[in-house]
């Protein structure tokens, strides 16, 4: 089925770090408004904005204390309404983050819920008795330690899959679901164009709340009891029928672990659940023994195999989101590319490899400039609750990593890498703020910034602009069939797309090695886009981090 959200390119704004309009060091809504023309020129269709709601900011807004209020840091509801209007007047849609697996512990519902066992809001959250003076079970929080927090007032524990200040909502409770649907309708009636649904596959839990056995450590990841749970599809269908189906909107679910079959259930055309999903398998290929904190070198064959599994798996039903970066991932050019000599080429190469796949591409703020990871000297440079909890767990308590090893992991993969301020120009603080930024700006902003790249026709920014234009012009890029070539090649990621008699060949080099590549039946084709300057011949020379897209004539 052809539909607008398949033909769109989405840009993610992390508001805290995007643009500060009033000098308090924190990005805000007026800042976003001031950059709408920049985004329009880039060519994107939709902006997904990470949470703008009222929040104590334990997890930068993913802990919401009021779903229908704008955080004072970001502005007012009038500012938001203006943003929506200004975006729509430029033909840009706005997608909001929907964080309903949990709230903040400062949400009114939770403040009530924790007061007493018979409070009307008690069952809005998941409360359990302790076992032998300990937590109700051995589930681990995704942010380290136990997933249960003891609460003195009632001598019971509440569940928090993330930080202890993010209590999980009880979706078994019909009243909770109705409250959420009501809130969603309120936003949709304002005219927003959809939701990105935070960890949405975790809202239905297996109700037995049993220990995970055998236990190889004190706390065990509970995902088999908390991901894609028994009532997940029932809840999403209910949400769709009661809310989403009444509006022409798109949804993307953050689905942290699922099979192809499950992905089809979430996003299949006749399922009435979600438009598309974010799954993370391709982001897991370089994780080591302690996950992201001990990365291993990229194995390109593994990455290609995984991307191909998802391309083929959802070829005829369901829909993929395409992304390298977001606010939870390090910068891709630092991760799978190169930040020295081949910085520019590798950033363009990575963009090419991703944007010619089938699915809806996402660009995370600064990715279009090739923004890189930050260099964190010490923990004081870090801001993210995940870093502090993991450090405490791995270095201080379990002592499985040294301080140096952990700092290496933080530099490679911490979420803070994505959250340094956007680099607009080469003035103080990269033009992000007139004040003191809430988080340090990457010192490389003198070299890497939007102003410079807008003025340079060979820049990464202009390359992204062209990728977006091509997607808008050529249905083959949206709807064409994908096929992997050279599946065992250690350095080259090569694939074709095919649609209504047209054919594209995409060649990307993930290494500094050079190759001669025989184009076979693309030998008299046309070069659509490349980071190299070549003539199409029977055999072309592939440069380090080269990217070539050839249209068959």
Q: Closest separation between CB of residue 70 and Ca ion, Å?
A: 12
> Is there binding between residue 79 and Ca ion (CB under 5 A)?
no
Tokens of 209: 């709340």
**In the numeric block, which tokens belong to residue 521?**
């039946």
CB of residue 351 to ligand GLC, shortest distance in Å: 22
Complex with Ca ion: residue 26 or 169, whichever CB lies closer: 26
Q: How far is the CB of 371 from Ca ion (least distance, A)?
A: 20
Chain position whose Cβ is nearest to Ca ion: 28
Q: CB nearer to ligand GLC: give 222 or 480.
A: 222
Least distance to Ca ion from the beta carbon of 486, Å?
49
CB under 8 Å, gap of 24 or more: what pairs does 418-421 form?
Answer: 418/14, 418/325, 418/326, 418/327, 418/328, 418/329, 418/330, 418/331, 418/364, 419/14, 419/16, 419/17, 419/60, 419/327, 419/383, 419/384, 420/17, 420/371, 420/374, 421/17, 421/27
Q: What Rg, from alpha-carbon coordinates, does the chain have?
A: 23
- Identify which of residues 26 and 357 has a Cβ nearer to Ca ion in the complex: 26
Q: Determine, following the binding rule CB under 6 A, whether residue 180 of this chain makes contact with ligand GLC.
A: no
Q: Select the binding partner of residue 26 from Ca ion, ligand GLC, none (C-beta < 5 to 8 A, by kind).
A: Ca ion
Of the listed 135, 198, 328, 491, which one is catalytic? 198
Per CB under 6 A, does 199 bind ligand GLC? yes
- Provide, rounded to whole angstroms, the least separation between the CB of residue 140 and ligand GLC: 15
Query: 277 Cβ partners below 8 Å, 6+ apart?
Result: 252, 253, 254, 255, 258, 263, 266, 267, 318, 319, 320, 321
For the segment 259-288, give every residue that binds Ca ion (CB under 5 A). none
Strand pairing report for 250-254 and 194-197: parallel
Helix, strand or coil, per DSSP, at residue 496: strand
Nearer to ligand GLC, 388 or 479 (CB): 388
Which CB, 60 or 334, lies closer to ligand GLC?
A: 60
Tell me the number of residues near ligand GLC by CB under 6 A.
Answer: 9
Segment 308 to 337, residues that bind ligand GLC, using CB under 6 A = 327-328
Verify binding: residue 62, ligand GLC, rule CB under 6 A.
yes
Q: Name the helix (H) or strand (E) containing 323.
A: none
Cα angle for residues 326, 434, 47 (degrees, 5° grid):
30
424 binds, among ligand GLC, Ca ion, none (CB under 5 to 8 A by kind): none
Stretch (H or E) spanning 55: none
Q: Considering only residues 33, 99, 252, 528, which one is a binding residue for ligand GLC as defined by CB under 6 A?
A: 99
* Shortest distance in whole angstroms from residue 447 CB to ligand GLC: 28
Contact status: 162 vs ligand GLC (CB under 6 A): yes
- 24 burial (CB, 10 Å; 0-12 / 13-18 / 19+) is middle
* Residue 254 among the catalytic residues: yes
Minimum distance of ligand GLC from residue 352's CB (angstroms): 26
Establish if 127 lies at the interface with ligand GLC (CB under 6 A).
no
Q: Which of 24, 238, 317, 502 binds Ca ion (CB under 5 A)?
A: 24
Q: Is 328 in the site for Ca ion (CB under 5 A)?
A: no
Q: Distance (Å, rounded) from C-alpha 163 to C-alpha 161? A: 7
User: Residue 24: which of ligand GLC, Ca ion, none does it interact with, CB under 5 to 8 A by kind?
Assistant: Ca ion
The active-site residue out of 254, 273, 384, 393 is: 254
Let me know: does 509 contact 515? Beta carbons within 8 Å. Answer: yes
Q: Would you call 541 helix, strand, or coil by DSSP?
A: strand
**Between residues 14 and 125, which has the closer beta carbon with respect to Ca ion?**
14
Residue 198 contacts ligand GLC per CB under 6 A: yes
Task: Decide if 243 contacts 183 (C-beta within 8 A).
Answer: no
Q: Are 9 and 322 in contact (CB under 8 A)?
A: no
Identify which of residues 123 and 425 has a Cβ nearer to Ca ion in the complex. Answer: 425
| Token couple for 143 | 């942010």
Let me know how long the chain is: 553
Q: Which residues pair with residue 481 across a beta bridge? A: 498
Strands 66-70 and 547-551: unpaired
Residue 20's binding partner, choosing from ligand GLC, Ca ion, none, with beta-carbon cut-off 5 to 8 A by kind? Ca ion
Smallest separation (angstroms) from ligand GLC to the CB of 62:
3
Least CB distance to ligand GLC at residue 420 (A): 15
Taking every pair of C-alpha atoms in the chain, what is the biggest distance, in angstroms? 77
Among the listed residues 3, 4, 22, 456, the single contact to Ca ion using CB under 5 A: 22
Dist CA 487 CA 357 (whole Å): 15
Q: 3-class SS at 476? A: helix
Number of residues that bind Ca ion (CB under 5 A): 5
Q: Which does 59 bind (CB under 5 to 8 A by kind): Ca ion, ligand GLC, none?
A: ligand GLC
> Closest by alpha carbon to 352, among 474, 518, 520, 470?
470
Complex with ligand GLC: residue 73 or 491, whichever CB lies closer:
73
**Residue 198 interacting partner from ligand GLC, Ca ion, none (CB closer than 5 to 8 Å by kind):** ligand GLC
Structure tokens at 317: 């039903």
Rule CB under 5 A: say whether 28 interacts with Ca ion.
yes
Task: Determine, following the binding rule CB under 5 A, whether residue 26 of this chain makes contact with Ca ion.
Answer: yes
Binding site for Ca ion (CB under 5 A): 20, 22, 24, 26, 28
Write out the catalytic residue numbers: 198, 254
Binding site for ligand GLC (CB under 6 A): 59, 62, 99, 162, 198-199, 254, 327-328
């Amino acid at each position: 089925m052809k539909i607008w959200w398949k033909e769109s390119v989405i840009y993610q704004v992390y508001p805290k770090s995007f643009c500060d309009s009033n000098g308090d060091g924190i990005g805000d809504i007026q800042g976003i408004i001031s950059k709408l023309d920049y985004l329009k020129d880039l060519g994107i269709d939709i902006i997904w904005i990470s949470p703008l709601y009222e929040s104590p900011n334990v997890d930068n807004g993913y802990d919401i204390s009021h779903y229908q209020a704008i955080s004072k840091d970001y502005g007012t509801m009038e500012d938001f309404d203006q943003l929506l209007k200004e975006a729509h007047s430029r033909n840009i849609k706005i997608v909001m983050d929907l964080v309903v697996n949990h709230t903040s512990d400062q949400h009114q519902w939770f403040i009530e819920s924790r007061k007493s066992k018979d409070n009307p809001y008690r069952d809005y959250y998941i409360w359990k008795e302790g076992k032998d003076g300990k937590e109700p079970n051995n589930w681990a929080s995704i942010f380290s330690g136990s997933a249960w927090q003891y609460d003195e007032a009632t001598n019971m524990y509440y569940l928090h899959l993330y930080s202890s200040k993010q209590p999980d909502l009880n979706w078994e409770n019909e009243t909770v679901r109705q409250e959420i649907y009501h809130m969603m309708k309120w936003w949709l009636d304002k005219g927003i164009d959809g939701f990105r649904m935070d960890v949405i596959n975790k809202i239905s839990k297996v109700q037995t709340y049993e220990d995970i056995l055998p236990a190889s450590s004190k706390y065990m990841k509970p995902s088999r009891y908390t991901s894609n749970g028994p009532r997940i599809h029932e809840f999403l269908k209910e949400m769709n029928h009661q809310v989403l189906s009444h509006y022409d909107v798109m949804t993307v679910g953050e689905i942290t672990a699922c099979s192809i079959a499950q992905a089809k259930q979430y996003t299949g055309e006749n399922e009435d659940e979600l438009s598309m999903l974010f799954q993370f398998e391709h982001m897991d290929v370089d994780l080591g023994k302690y996950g992201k904190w001990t990365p291993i070198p990229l194995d390109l064959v593994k990455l290609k195999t995984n991307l191909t599994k998802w391309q083929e798996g959802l070829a005829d039903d369901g829909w993929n989101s395409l992304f390298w970066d977001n606010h939870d991932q390090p910068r891709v050019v630092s991760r799978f590319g190169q930040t020295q000599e081949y910085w520019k080429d590798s950033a363009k190469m990575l963009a090419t490899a991703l944007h010619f796949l089938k699915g809806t591409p996402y660009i995370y703020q600064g990715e279009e400039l090739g923004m890189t990871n930050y260099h964190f000297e010490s923990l004081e440079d870090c801001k993210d609750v995940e870093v502090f909890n993991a450090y405490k767990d791995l270095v201080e308590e379990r002592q499985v990593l040294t301080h140096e090893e952990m700092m290496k992991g933080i530099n490679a993969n911490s979420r803070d890498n994505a959250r340094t301020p956007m680099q607009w120009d080469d003035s103080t603080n990269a033009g992000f703020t007139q004040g003191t930024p809430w988080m340090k700006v990457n010192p490389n902003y003198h070299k890497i910034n939007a102003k410079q790249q807008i003025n340079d026709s060979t820049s990464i920014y202009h390359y992204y602009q062209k990728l977006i234009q091509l997607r808008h012009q050529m249905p083959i890029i949206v709807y064409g069939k994908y096929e992997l070539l050279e599946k065992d090649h250690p350095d080259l990621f090569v694939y074709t797309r095919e649609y209504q008699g047209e054919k594209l060949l995409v060649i990307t080099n993930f290494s500094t090695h050079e190759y001669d590549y025989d184009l076979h039946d693309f030998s008299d084709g046309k070069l659509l886009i490349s980071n190299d300057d070549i003539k199409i011949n029977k055999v072309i020379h592939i440069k380090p981090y080269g990217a070539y897209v050839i249209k068959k004539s």
